Amino acid sequence: MSQNITPATGDVRAVRIVWPMNDHGAMTVRVESDSEVRQVVECESDEVRETLERLPAGTTLPLKMESVGMRGNAWRAVELVDDRRVTDTASSRTEYRAEQKYAPDGEASEQQETAQA
């Protein structure tokens, strides 16, 4: 079964948090496979919302999303997917000093990046 599901039923993608969740429950993520930027404006459950609001910018995680409405770039976070095959894509890293990886047990791990000459 493919990890890429149509937006009507849910869309599982590896995403990197660009802007963490704000006071209104919205956050900006970048889809790792194609650099698409999405605005997550809703969460399916309190558990998903509480986990996402703890994660800092630069965290990469597999996230199931579905489009909200017929227009715009609004997405609902449906589920945090435990997919350990998600890997760091260094080419999409720009402004972050540390790389964050989502750990299914609820802890985000931090790895210091090395400076490139």
Q: Which amino acid is at 79?
A: E
Would you say residue 95 lies in a domain? no
pLDDT tens digits along 5-49: 334 456 788 999 999 999 999 999 999 999 899 999 999 999 999
pTM of the predicted structure, to 2 decimals: 0.65
- Taking alpha carbons only, the member of 64, 70, 27, 29 closest to residue 45 is 64
Would you say residue 15 lies in a domain? yes
d(CA 68, CA 75): 5
At 70, which CATH number?
Answer: 2.40.50.140
Would you say residue 29 lies in a domain? yes
Structure tokens at 77: 């976070």
- How many structural domains does the chain have? 1
How many residues are given for the chain? Answer: 117
Would you say residue 34 lies in a domain? yes
Given pLDDT bands bounded at 50, 70 and 90, which one contains residue 100? low
What domain range is 28 assigned to?
Answer: 11-80
